[in-house]
Amino acid sequence: MALALAGCQQERGLAPDQTPLDGAKVAQFTAGPVTRVVNGTSWEGTEVIGISNVTKSEPATTNVAYKATTAGSTTNFADQGTKLLLPSDNTEVTFAAYYPYASTISEGKASYIISKGSDQPVLFATQKGTAANPKLPFTFKHKLAQVKIILTAGEGLSLGDLSSVLYRGGVTDVKMNVLTGELTTGNTKGDITLTKEAEGEGTCTYSSYIVPQDVESTFAFVMTLGGKTYTLSMDKVNKAPTKLDSGFAYTFKAKLTKDGTVVNPDGSSIGGIEDGGTGEGGDVTPDDPSTPAAAQKLPFTNDFKSAAGIAPFTEVSVSGEQAWRIDDSTYKNGAKMSGYVGGAKNPNEDWLISPALDLSGAMAPELFISHAINHAGDMTSEQQVLISDNYTAGDPSTATWTPLTVTYPAGNNWSYEDSKTDLKAYAGKKNIHIAFKYVSTSTSAAAWQIAKMEVKEATGSEPGTEPGTEEPGTEPEQPTTGNLLFPGADFEDWSAFMSVFTKGNSTGITIEQGNDPTQGGVMKVTGKDSGNKWIFNIQNVQVTNPAPKKITFKVKGTSPSRSFSVVVYGLNGEMAIYNIGDILADKVISEYKTSTKDHKYDGQINTGDQWVTITLDISQVKINNTGSGKIFSAKIGKLSEYNVMLDDFKIE
């Protein structure tokens, strides 16, 4: 029996409560320096990588999370619940590692979207080991390419006036096989906002990692300086590369001047990701708005509900803390903007701007949109759809915008309205942008959701939202449907959450609504208590799922010495107590206790500034579905400083 178990361990990995049997060894993983855009060659000590047994690939030994333990030029990696083993017979095993870790992979591939100034590389490494030699040092290699542009300004211009530097037109999505490192390039194109990497005497360097791909002549650097836009397209670059290859950096130089002249004495070369190279940029002159780069021809369609990100649209926040984002809550409501956060109405001006559209060959173009507005004030001034034929990039106030006549929804519910607008007045023009301009004030803060936008030749049909697929949104009128555990469980509507919330007995912990750049509204849990205390209860919720199997929720943040203990309540108030333990990466918890003395708070919370998902197996729990009494509660441990965000409580 021991031999059979040992073999099973060696094939499947080692669970937290097991020890190696029959000479099997736990693999020990380390790594050397990594080159990055911003922080040199050091590990930060918070990185999570995925490691897989390539020699005997099985689900249990594929994509196993390991986390860096120390900061510095080298680091060790610690398992996050499952240890990978080396068999006792000294059979050589090949392991593959990649970064950054993706908790969910599809067909053995991790998916990435490179769109906003990525200073985070995608890395891959392999290493072989045996039980006699269980220490495996990974040497990671870059899988992405890198683009850099070194800018100087001519007389009368200041690089301090640069408001944005973009790389336009390239593919932004890619998948990587976690066993082989092979990349599969996607087909979504958009803008990448470059990160400011360095500032020298009279120069600024901007860079980003980028998906390896063939270079098209329409790819371009777009710089906005002093209200003017400068475009350096690849067809203007001397000795421009024809491909952006994995592991190589491509550096360009450009001098921006008032009269458009450019001095670029250096030739062109390509270097490794650490070495870099230089390329001659050619003339860079302020753009003529009538000749935009990479304008998209009709028909143009963007389905925000299925989009992974805002691109190819651009969001521009003129004022306020909120911004347009893709709603990834249960309802997938598309592009969403709301100035209502934390129970307060916040002043904002935010634009969602389409890519340039080429209507030069159009005869009778029409704009179709499907949108919903709730808690509306004056929709005609606060939720405007506008059009411009001279916008290029950056600040929308540098262009002329004309309001379009659109059909507005009722404004007091989440029903989507289909709108059709005649654009014949703009037929024949090359540089057309459509913008959704949102304004909120301290007295009026609607929520605006865009499901779909199309520009195409008139055909008499509208895309819209198909009958029967309207979705309820996340405001107070939202019924408790879908798989949210309770009303407001995605914390976009704090008042809905507060309608089912009761405060626990903790006096040192604060519960409030917060905002996260990727999640939107969240629950913030901050502070410290002298005892193990309840922090919130959820009650009087009608659970409609007749046989739920799991509850999931997301966590981000830190607590150095204590974790959470949560309770799922049964029909008669009986408790299923789940002690969460360490929260460092995604985890599934199946074991639960039933006595109040079984609450445990051991563990730390440190998600490395990433969202992780906690899954509670409730397949053996008969959750309270009476619509009365408690269904869920949470406790914190004593004497630990909590700085945590929670989001998206779901039941499935």
* One-character DSSP codes across 173-218: EEEEETTT--EEE---EEEEEPEEEEEETTEEEEEEEE--EEPPTT
Position 253 scores a pLDDT of: 83
* pLDDT higher than 80, residue 467: no
Q: How far apart are CA 189 and CA 173, in angstroms?
A: 8
- Dihedral pair phi/psi, residue 585, rounded to 5°: -155, 175
Position 287 scores a pLDDT of: 47
Average of per-residue pLDDT across 535-542: 92
Position 632 scores a pLDDT of: 96
Whether residue 455 contacts residue 419, with contact meaning beta carbons closer than 8 Å, is answered with no
Question: In this predicted model, what pLDDT tens digit does every residue of 110-137 receive, in sequence order?
Answer: 988 886 555 678 999 999 999 888 999 9
Confidence of residue 294 (pLDDT cuts 50, 70, 90): low
- More confident position, 314 or 650: 650
Q: How far apart are CA 511 and CA 535, in angstroms?
A: 8
Average of per-residue pLDDT across 438-457: 93
Amino acid at 286: P
| DSSP letter, residue 598 | G
From 209, 212, 195, 206, select the one nearest 232 (Cα to Cα). 206
Q: How far apart are CA 187 and CA 170, in angstroms?
A: 9
Whether residue 171 contacts residue 188, with contact meaning beta carbons closer than 8 Å, is answered with yes
Position 509 scores a pLDDT of: 94
* pLDDT higher than 70, residue 612: yes
Average of per-residue pLDDT across 630-641: 95
Position 519 scores a pLDDT of: 81
Average of per-residue pLDDT across 509-523: 87
Position 275 scores a pLDDT of: 37
Average of per-residue pLDDT across 370-398: 91
Position 447 scores a pLDDT of: 92
* pLDDT higher than 80, residue 525: yes
* pLDDT higher than 60, residue 264: no
- More confident position, 172 or 380: 380
Position 637 scores a pLDDT of: 95
Whether residue 28 contacts residue 93, with contact meaning beta carbons closer than 8 Å, is answered with no
Query: Domains, the chain, ranges and CATH?
Result: 25-142 (2.60.40.2620), 145-272 (2.60.40.2630), 296-457 (2.60.120.200), 494-651 (2.60.120.260)
Residues, the chain: 652
Percent above pLDDT 90 for the chain? 39
Q: How far apart are CA 272 and CA 181, in angstroms?
A: 18
Going by their DSSP bridges, the two strands 334-338 and 325-327 should be labelled as: antiparallel
What is the 3-class SS of 112-165, one letter each residue? EECCECCCCCCEEEEEEEECCECEEEECCEECCEEEEEEEEECCCCCHHHEEEE
Q: How far apart are CA 112 and CA 102, in angstroms?
A: 9
Q: Is-cis flag, bond preceding 299, omega within 30? A: yes
Position 276 scores a pLDDT of: 35
Sign of the dihedral defined by the CA atoms of residues 466, 472, 473, 477, in that order: positive
* pLDDT higher than 50, residue 273: no
Q: How far apart are CA 191 and CA 117, in angstroms?
A: 10
Confidence of residue 98 (pLDDT cuts 50, 70, 90): very high
Position 238 scores a pLDDT of: 66
Range from 171-175, 403-407, 418-422, 561-565 carrying the lowest mean pLDDT: 171-175
Position 370 scores a pLDDT of: 93
Going by their DSSP bridges, the two strands 213-214 and 243-244 should be labelled as: antiparallel
Confidence of residue 33 (pLDDT cuts 50, 70, 90): low
* pLDDT higher than 50, residue 143: yes
Q: What is the mean pLDDT of the chain?
A: 82
Position 605 scores a pLDDT of: 94
∠ Cα 438 436 162 (to 5°)? 85
From 117, 190, 233, select the one nearest 355 (Cα to Cα). 190
Average of per-residue pLDDT across 364-381: 93
From 618, 580, 613, 619, select the one nearest 599 (Cα to Cα). 580
Confidence of residue 7 (pLDDT cuts 50, 70, 90): very low
Position 4 scores a pLDDT of: 25
Confidence of residue 15 (pLDDT cuts 50, 70, 90): very low
- Dihedral pair phi/psi, residue 129, rounded to 5°: -155, 165
Q: Which two tokens stand for residue 33?
A: 């320096």
Whether residue 649 contacts residue 489, with contact meaning beta carbons closer than 8 Å, is answered with yes
Whether residue 135 contacts residue 77, with contact meaning beta carbons closer than 8 Å, is answered with no
- More confident position, 202 or 476: 202
Confidence of residue 168 (pLDDT cuts 50, 70, 90): confident
- pTM for this structure? 0.46
Average of per-residue pLDDT across 307-335: 80
Average of per-residue pLDDT across 279-287: 47
Place of tokens 């057309």: 432
* pLDDT higher than 90, residue 621: yes
Whether residue 234 contacts residue 249, with contact meaning beta carbons closer than 8 Å, is answered with no
Position 592 scores a pLDDT of: 94
Q: How far apart are CA 63 and CA 354, in angstroms?
A: 37
Confidence of residue 327 (pLDDT cuts 50, 70, 90): confident
Average of per-residue pLDDT across 597-603: 92
Position 334 scores a pLDDT of: 86
Looking at 5-102, which runs of residues are DSSP E strands?
25-26, 28-31, 48-53, 64-68, 75-79, 85-86, 93-99
| Interacting residues of 125 by C-beta distance below 8 A, sequence separation 6+ | 31, 96, 97, 98, 138, 139, 140, 141
